[in-house]
Structure formats: C-alpha cells, structure tokens
Amino acid sequence: MEMTYKLAPKLPFASRLAAALALAAAGVVVQFIASPALGFPLILAGGLAFLANSYTNKPKDLGFEDWRPVTDREIDRIADNLRQSRKIKLPAYFSRGMAIAVAVVCLVIAFFSGVIAEDGTFAMAMLDALAFIGPVLFSGSVSVWVPAELKMKMECLQAVLSQNKPEGISITPYLRFDKNKEGKEIPEDVRLMLEGKRHPDDMVGIQIQAAINSGEHGAVPYLYAVCLTRGKGASFKKLSAMKIDGYEIEWKEPEEYGAVVVRQATSGGGYYTSAEDCARLYQLCLKILDFAAQGAS
C-alpha cells in the first residue's frame, strides 16, 4: 500500500515532512512569543500536509472484458485466493477506533494537566500534538475489498468441476479479465463451456454460468445453463421444445445464434442454487448434450 495525500499529491515525502515540521515549529514559537490562539492554526496547517486519501485494493473497472479459456487448476487457484482473502485483518492502527482513542487520550491528558495539575504548557502541548497528527489519524481510511460475487460464482462452478466427466465430453472454464491502471489482469467473471465430441453441425455447446440474485438474507448465487445453437435449425427447434420437470425452459427467436436457457424452477423473491443443485444441473446438461446428439452422424 502506498500512501497518497490530498494536498500537493506530487510533493515528495521528504519535502512534505520538512514543510510540516517548519509550520509546526513556527506555530510553537508564535504560541510562546504571542499567544496559543495565533500559533495553533500554523500547527494545524502543518498537520494538514499529511491529510491522506482513502485506500482500497478494489481495482477500477476499465472495461476490457476479455474472455479467455483457462485450466481447472487456474480456477482452483483463484478460488483459493478468494477464500484466503476473507481472512485478511487490518492492523488496529488502520481503524477509525484507534484514531478516536488517540484523540480521547490527548484530550483527557490535556484536561487533567490543565485543570487539576494546573500545567497549561503541557495541556497546550497535548492539544498541539493532536492538531498535528489529527489529519492523518482521521483521514486515509483503509478497506480490504473481496470480490464476493466472483467467489460465489466460483463455488458454484467448482461444484460442477468436481463431478465426473464422461468420455466424449469436454469442459472448458472461461474467465473474463479486466485490467487495472497498472496493466495487471483482474478476473471478474467465470463460466463453463460443455461440448460433446459427437454433436449435430448446428449445435455449439452448453454454457454454464452464474448470476447473483437478492435472497432473503442477502446476495445468493444462481446457476443456469444456456444451450447454444447456430441459427434456428433442427437443434434449436429440438431443444426449445424440451419439457423438464423442475426446470424452466426459455428462449428467444435466434438470429446468428440460438440460446435456449435451462434454469431451476423457483418460487419466492430470490433464486438460489446450492452445491447439490449445481451438480444436478450439470448432470442434466450431460443428458441434454446426449439428447441433442441423437441422430447426429
């Protein structure tokens, strides 16, 4: 993490520190030779040099959206990284509670030294210290971003990839990558492509993909399948006419490609598919591929 500042962001840290200390020292001198009220703004101005921007590891979406095939091992690696990222805990000094605690301690010490001990000089020093370090304490919040939606989708598709793969069926994972401003690739979405080695010429395959819906207790994943055909030939007509208990079949009049959506029938406000539902949908997709291949040469 690199600290960035709101005021004069390109000023080198050494120059920033020198300017802040010079303002603070000038403020202290003014307090002794004139009055505390006149020197306090100079000290505060020195502290403002460290007014920091907030920091998050969430990359800015640059809109590249590059879908590429990857290996099962890459899917497992990213999924494991996502699980590990949920365990990240920031040090206490990054929390807003720590800033408040430091401010309260300074104010309490200033109060008791000024009122009870009658030491106005020490009380003023504590207030000066708070004015100098306050801007950096109460700015520059740090937050850890975890792509929760991608994690849920990964878990759905891993439930599919953990199933047995029959002979004659290929399963290819695809990841959609974006790039951050440094050019580093950031995975954003995931899906699977199922293809049979024996299939009609107008049958492309079945995409298994996930959406995120609003459930009763928050966001939930929903896995569904899209049967892809070329145009509206025999395969499209055959698949769009399917009737499957427990599943909804939806389609639109195709142009270049036909898409027949197979999704779990649901009721209530939010769709949700468990790991068992995902495995069941995969088995259904295998049957659909076999059904589409019947009669193919």
- Does residue 45 fall inside a structural domain? yes
In a domain, 79, yes or no: no
Residues 153 and 274 in one domain: yes
The two structure tokens encoding residue 141:
């919040």
Let me know if residue 137 belongs to a domain.
Answer: yes
286 shares its domain with 155: yes
- CA distances 215 to 99, 191, 261, Å, are 36, 22, 21
Same domain, 154 and 263: yes
Whether residues 261 and 276 share a domain: the answer is yes
In a domain, 4, yes or no: no
Residues of the chain with pLDDT under 50: none
Residue-level pLDDT at 296 = 56
* 136 shares its domain with 152: no
| Together in a domain, 139 and 259 | no
Q: Which domain holds residue 132?
A: 13-53+90-143
pLDDT on residue 22: 92
C-alpha torsion 156→195→281→215, nearest 10: 40
Domain boundary among 143, 161, 188: 143
pLDDT tens readout for residues 77-110: 888 877 776 666 656 556 677 778 888 887 888 7
What is the number of domains present in the chain?
Answer: 2
pLDDT at site 65: 75
Predicted TM-score (pTM) of the model is 0.68
Say yes or no: 102 and 182 in one domain: no
CA neighbor of 68 nearest in space, from 224, 174, 187? 174
In a domain, 76, yes or no: no
Number of CB atoms found within 10 A of residue 219's CB: 13
- Are 108 and 245 within one domain? no
Residue 158 shares a structural domain with residue 277: yes
The answer on 228 and 197 residing in a single domain is yes
**Shared domain check, 124 and 28:** yes
DSSP per position, 115-169 = IIS--HHHHHHHHHHHHHHHHHHSS--EE----HHHHHHHHHHHHHHTS---TTE
- Answer yes or no: is 191 within a domain: yes
pLDDT at 93: 56
Q: Residue 283: its pLDDT value, please?
A: 94
Q: Are residues 128 and 225 in the same domain?
A: no
Which of 143, 176, 206 is the endpoint of a domain? 143
Q: How far apart are CA 218 and CA 18, in angstroms?
A: 50
